[in-house]
Structure 1
Amino acid sequence: MSGKNNYNMLKQIPAVDEILQRTEVKELQQKIPKILVLEAVREIAAEIRQDILMDRIQSLPENNPRQYLLDLITTSAADRAREKNRPNLRRVINATGVVLHTNLGRAVLSERACQAIEQAASGYSNLELDLQTGKRGSRYAPVENLLTRLTGAESALVVNNNAAAVLLALSTMAKEKEVIVSRGQLVEIGGSFRIPEVMAQSGAKLVEVGATNKTHPRDYKNAVTSETALLLHVHTSNYRVVGFTRETSVAELVSIGKEFQLPVMSDLGSGSLIDLSTFGLPEEPTVQETVKAGCDIVTFSGDKLLGGPQAGIIVGKTKYLEKMKKNPLTRAIRIDKFTVAALEATLREYLEPDNAIKNIPSLKMLSAKKSEHEQRALALCRKLTEKAGLRARFEPVEIFSAVGGGALPTAELPFWAIEVVPYAISVAGLAQKLRGSDPAVIGRLQEDKLILDLRTVLNGEEEVLVDILCRVLEQGGTSE
């Protein structure tokens, strides 16, 4: 390609101001911020210029090439501007089957919790006002009473996540002092945050006892010194050590704490207020059981098995919780009004356990029986086959799902899924296009198939899922 020909094509590229004066672009600026439209026009014009220089565009239509480029840039820039204007945080249809999917926001909130957030967001609230006295109140009051009632603890405090709860407790109880913990409980949670690192940040000194697979009560007793401030039990909520094992129970640790007059803390991680083993899931210690066993401090998450918003919940003895409330760190990691509203609404569901199972989405998904959803899978398959049977094969299949979110690591949840084998696009390409849809659809890639697990597809999302899948399959393509 001659440099002269390139030069002639470059001269045909319209100026940015000329494009911005087009009627279509002016109308677009009424719907999309002007700065985004301007960025899009500049980017598309620059890309076309680069394509010409790199010989990716070797010729233009002989009949009015300038008009051709005007139309091309206008259309492409409009698409680019719309994409720029889409929210970065978008709705997703979770078809992975992972109930507490960390990448997808973990627990879906109940309708009652969503209504509470809307009410808190749309007007003023008594976040830190005691309406009875007219004086300043505590933002924790709306949830503290519920937490003590539900768990049997004397007092409660809520911070922004469970890692912060552990950090606050250790900083308050054992700064510059020793904390004894089993080697088998030095867990790592999502994002490579590890108990030893959280402990170091708190100023506490870690004392490891026992072995990875076995820690006996005598290991704790032998490690106690005048510098010991706390005995720590960490529930391995995101993994299990099986086989030749021995773990010192919370009850045994409490007994040791009484013998040496030391407080005992249990980090449950994904703490539950309901015995999930009644649904065939692995047994998990409940918060109530841990409090009843005599633990002085118990920490757990709000957005895992509890099914609420992201939060770190601390319950326990009043004398220790009062110290934490006065720790300056508490203000830095406190919850906002939306968390207070959503958590209160979630906890109120637990006042009637049957309501919690029925109304909290994560609990409803975890307790769902495969046999009750077979017809749902068959009906969805028939609908997809009717609408897009020439573009893909759809088949109901029985699969196993995971709980996710660092909870119940050994649990296998049997359920129904839709197996999709596309004909005119690769499976990876189909998955990519589904991620780019609105709402995005996220499934599981398995060999040359896309698996859409229905456990986590919410009621009312089926029609949207069918429409998006059929539209993407109709578009075809080979995106990878």
Structure 2
Amino acid sequence: MNTKNLFKHLPSVDAILNAISSEKIVANLPRPLVRDLVNDFLNLCREEIRSQIITNGEQLKLENLKPKIMAYIRAHSRPHFRRVINGTGVVIHTNLGRSILAESAIEAVVHACRHYSNLEFSLKTGKRGSRYSHVEELLCRLTGAEAGLVVNNNASAVLIILDTLAKGKEVIVSRGQLVEIGGSFRIPEVMAKSGAILREVGATNRTHLRDYEKAIGPETAALLKVHTSNYRIIGFHKEVQLKELVALGQKYGLPVLEDMGSGNLFDFSASGYSFMHEPTVQQVIKAGVSVVSFSGDKLLGGPQAGIILGQKEVIDKIKKNPMNRAVRIDKMTLAALEATLRLYLDMDLAREKIPTVNMITLSEQELKQKARRLKNRLARRLKDHLELKLIPNHSRVGGGAFPEQDLPTTLVAIRPRQMSIEDLKNRLLHTEPPLVGRLEDDYFCLDPRTIALSEYNLVCEAIEQAVVGG
């Protein structure tokens, strides 16, 4: 049959729409989207006719095309933003959405979305209230701060703090703390945007208290300490301790600000992880800083937010800044944050229920057992298609936290028998759900630290989709 005649055998768009209208997936999609997908599928058929992939009219019968049409619709109607299984072992993986929420936080978000709430309504007075009151008291109780405020992320927190306290004036920062983190977020540029004037002191690797003191002048508005986040200076290195900086600030009547970056309420070093030493927010507040800011979706294990804590007099000024409305949090963030913070009232409960804290604190033995369990499940299902073994390795916290620390783990190492590991890695990006891992020593590897036991079946199904098809 010639090509022109084959085109005549293509079913019409309306005929296809009628034939698939009872399919569940179609019923849940907007009809214009389904129509567009059917048109796209028919265009592919026309290309296959021209390329002589389709060579007879039998292939174009609606009953023969229908399974392919449904597969095409399923593949191309998925949301762009969707679930991914994280097998990388990076707990706070910025590209994969950072921290995942505790179940109680998820439930709180659902309630906030499904029902009206007292977001800015006081149930005591029946009048307008403040959205920040829902978490401020809890934050102060947990950290010892006098007052608090929450904005939409830590970059906004730093921006509004500097805009409020140092606009048009100098802020003194150690040269070794002028960091850039993900997304080209640079401290000097944020300071410039806030209207504050950067005054660098010290050298890249060594800054002394006298460097700060020499720089203090009539135009000085604040002293700023910045967490170096994604890197560490080792060797010939010195930085001024926070207590010394606070004492200097008090001597000259200057506020001391600290950008903690990740910011943790859980003391990992006191929980059997002595190698993971970072000051907690509680310790920073106790040292006497005027203001501290940190992220909600990193070590805290909550939603994206910028948390600002400190002295009431200073926080009250920041609350009055008109910029506050532009960077405020929404009801879903507020609900998730409150639920997460409530878990920290009992640190053992926080360790058990907050996924980020739980994953970081998993023991080597627990991870070895998890890895063995996943390997055995894959072997039962796909032993003819995969070479499998367990290898000792390490995980990372991620999100700029503990950048120099390796967390011991056991990886499930996978080598497919009929394709390269690069092919496997790429195919797994298109499974449902996608599975992301890492390449180590000529194996595709999965780290059980960041894979929940409840996801093991999905992992097996994804790998089966990739190596067998289906």
- Cα distance in 1 for residues equivalent to 2:454 and 2:15: 46
- Cα distance in 2 for residues equivalent to 1:335 and 1:352: 25
Give, in angstroms, the shift of residue 258 of structure 1: 1.4
1:312 is matched with which residue: 292, 306, 311?
306
**What is the match of residue 98 of structure 1?**
90
- Cα distance in 1 for residues equivalent to 2:326 and 2:384: 57
1:335 is paired with a residue whose SS is coil
Q: Deviation per CA, 1:233-290, whole angstroms, max 9, x where unpaired?
A: 0011221011111111211211221121111100000011122123324211111111
2:20 is matched with which residue: 20, 24, 46?
24
**What is the match of residue 433 of structure 1?**
427
- Cα distance in 2 for residues equivalent to 1:190 and 1:80: 36
Give, in angstroms, the shift of residue 207 of structure 1: 1.1
- Cα distance in 2 for residues equivalent to 1:14 and 1:115: 47
Q: Which amino acid aligns with 1:129?
A: F
User: Are residue 284 (structure 1) and residue 278 (structure 2) matched?
Assistant: yes
Q: Is the 8 A contact 2:48 2:54 kept in 1?
A: no
- Cα distance in 1 for residues equivalent to 2:179 and 2:103: 34
**1:210-225, aligned counterparts within 5 Å?**
210-225=202-217
Give, in angstroms, the shift of residue 471 of structure 1: 4.0
1:179 is paired with a residue whose SS is strand
1:341 is paired with a residue whose SS is helix
Q: Which amino acid aligns with 1:266?
A: E
Q: Deviation per CA, 1:95-138, whole angstroms, max 9, x where unpaired?
A: 11111011111111112211211222221111111111111111
**What is the match of residue 168 of structure 1?**
160
User: Are residue 450 (structure 1) and residue 447 (structure 2) matched?
Assistant: no
2:453 is paired with a residue whose SS is coil
Q: Which amino acid aligns with 1:241?
A: I
**What is the match of residue 55 of structure 2?**
60
Q: Is the 8 A contact 1:36 1:84 kept in 2?
A: no
- Cα distance in 1 for residues equivalent to 2:376 and 2:294: 43
Give, in angstroms, the shift of residue 9 of structure 1: 4.1
- Cα distance in 1 for residues equivalent to 2:131 and 2:53: 66
Structure 1 range deviating more: 182-191 or 435-444 = 435-444
Quick one: percent identity of the two aligned structures?
Answer: 49
Structure 1 range deviating more: 242-251 or 276-285 = 276-285
- Cα distance in 1 for residues equivalent to 2:166 and 2:432: 49
Give, in angstroms, the shift of residue 466 of structure 1: 2.4
2:244 is matched with which residue: 240, 249, 252?
252
Structure 1 range deviating more: 197-206 or 12-21 = 12-21
TM-score normalized by structure 1?
A: 0.92
Give, in angstroms, the shift of residue 89 of structure 1: 2.2
RMSD: 2.0
- Cα distance in 1 for residues equivalent to 2:53 and 2:233: 63
User: Are residue 43 (structure 1) and residue 35 (structure 2) matched?
Assistant: no
Q: Is the 8 A contact 1:37 1:77 kept in 2?
A: no
Q: Is the 8 A contact 1:45 1:73 kept in 2?
A: no
2:90 is paired with a residue whose SS is coil
User: Are residue 370 (structure 1) and residue 364 (structure 2) matched?
Assistant: yes
Q: What are structure 2's unaligned runs of at least 5 residues?
A: none
Q: Which amino acid aligns with 1:24?
A: I
- Cα distance in 2 for residues equivalent to 1:45 and 1:464: 32
**1:3-402, aligned counterparts within 5 Å?**
5-21=2-18, 23-24=19-20, 27=23, 29-53=26-50, 56-57=51-52, 60-61=55-56, 64=57, 68=60, 70=62, 74-278=66-270, 279-280=272-273, 281-402=275-396
Q: Deviation per CA, 1:386-440, whole angstroms, max 9, x where unpaired?
A: 2210000111221101111111101101012211110122222222232222222
- Report how many residues are paired: 467
- Cα distance in 2 for residues equivalent to 1:59 and 1:471: 26
- Cα distance in 2 for residues equivalent to 1:359 and 1:70: 51
Q: Deviation per CA, 1:131-163, whole angstroms, max 9, x where unpaired?
A: 111111111111101111111111000001100
**What is the match of residue 473 of structure 1?**
467
- Cα distance in 2 for residues equivalent to 1:372 and 1:11: 62
TM-score normalized by structure 2?
A: 0.94
In structure 2, do the counterparts of structure 1 residues 12 and 459 end up closer, same or farther at CA, with 3 Å as the change threshold?
closer
- Cα distance in 2 for residues equivalent to 1:58 and 1:316: 69
Give, in angstroms, the shift of residue 34 of structure 1: 1.6
Q: Is the 8 A contact 1:36 1:81 kept in 2?
A: no
- Cα distance in 2 for residues equivalent to 1:114 and 1:37: 31
